[in-house]
Chains A and B, each alone.
Chain A
Amino acid sequence: KAGVTQTPRYLIKTRGQQVTLSCSPISGHRSVSWYQQTPGQGLQFLFEYFSETQRNKGNFPGRFSGRQFSNSRSEMNVSTLELGDSALYLCASSLGTSGRIGTQYFGPGTRLTVL
C-alpha cells in the first residue's frame, strides 16, 4: 500500500506571497493532520481534517488554512508569507473513524523557504 505523499517536496517563496501544499493520505484513511516542524519550536499541530471538515485546530494565525476533498486529499494554504513560516510542513494520515486516537503515518514533508 502506498504511503502518504506530499507535493511539492521543496518550495522557495518571498515574503508576502501565498503558498499551497498538497497531501494525499494512505488509501482508506479519512483523517489528515498537518504539522509544522522548525528547529526552534519543534513539531507543532496545525489542524486536522476528517470527511472534508476541520475537526481540530492548533494555535496558529488565520493565515494558515486548509481543506479536504471528497477523496480525502488535503491542501493547506499559507497567505502573506513571513520569514518565520520557513519550515518543514508535514502531513499525517490515519483512519480517523474509531472512537480512540488512531495511529498517524507521516509523509516526507514539504520544505518551505521564505526569502
Chain B
Amino acid sequence: GENVEQHPSTLSVQEGDSAVIKCTYSDSASNYFPWYKQELGKGPQLIIDIRSNVGEKKDQRIAVTLNKTAKHFSLHITETQPEDSAVYFCADSHPGNMLTFGGGTRLMVKP
C-alpha cells in the first residue's frame, strides 16, 4: 500500500545551523505534500505545504522542495532556534482528504 518514509528519525543541531528532513513517497498520483510540527501535548500544526505543480516554496526560514520524478520532498529550516525543537511530520495526500504521514523526525536545537 501507500507508504511515506521519513529520515532521519532524530536530528540534533546547534542553534543557528540548518536542519534538513527528507521524505519519499510511493504513490505517483500524490499531488499535495504538507509538513506539520508537533510540540509536546499539542496537535500537529501546519508549517508549510507544496503542491505538485511547484518545485520549491519558501516561507521565511522554512522551505520545502519537491522532486516528483524521484518521488521525494524535503523540509529545510535555516538559522534554527531553540523554539524549533519539536517533532516534524511529512505527509502526502490521497482522494478523500486522506493524508499518509511519515514516521516523524524529532528535531533538537541546542542553544
Contact = CB atoms under 8 A, between A and B. Distances in A.
Interface stretch (B12-20, B55-63, B77-85, B89-97): B89-97
Contacts of B42: 108-109
A64 interface: no
B54 interface: no
A68 interface: no
A101 B92 CA distance: 10
A56 B97 contact: yes
Given A103-B46, A106-B44, A106-B45, A58 B98 contact: yes
A42 interface: yes
Nearest to B96: A56
B36 interface: yes
Contact of A104 (B34, B94, B95): B34
Contacts of A4: 43
Interface residues of A, number: 27
A16 interface: no
Interface in A24-82: 31, 33, 35, 42-45, 48, 50, 55-56, 58
Interface in B91-107: 91, 93-104
B44 A42 contact: no
A94 B32 CA distance: 14
A102 B43 contact: no
Contacts of A106: 36, 43-46
Interface string B46-83: 10010100000000000000000000000000000000
Interface of A: 4, 31, 33, 35, 42-45, 48, 50, 55-56, 58, 90, 92, 94, 96, 100-109
25 contacts: A33-B98, A33-B99, A35-B99, A42-B102, A42-B103, A43-B91, A43-B101, A45-B99, A48-B96, A55-B97, A56-B97, A56-B98, A58-B98, A90-B44, A94-B97, A100-B32, A100-B51, A101-B97, A103-B34, A103-B46, A104-B46, A106-B36, A106-B45, A106-B46, A109-B43
6 interchain residue pairs of minimum CB distance: A56-B96, A106-B43, A43-B101, A101-B93, A101-B32, A106-B44
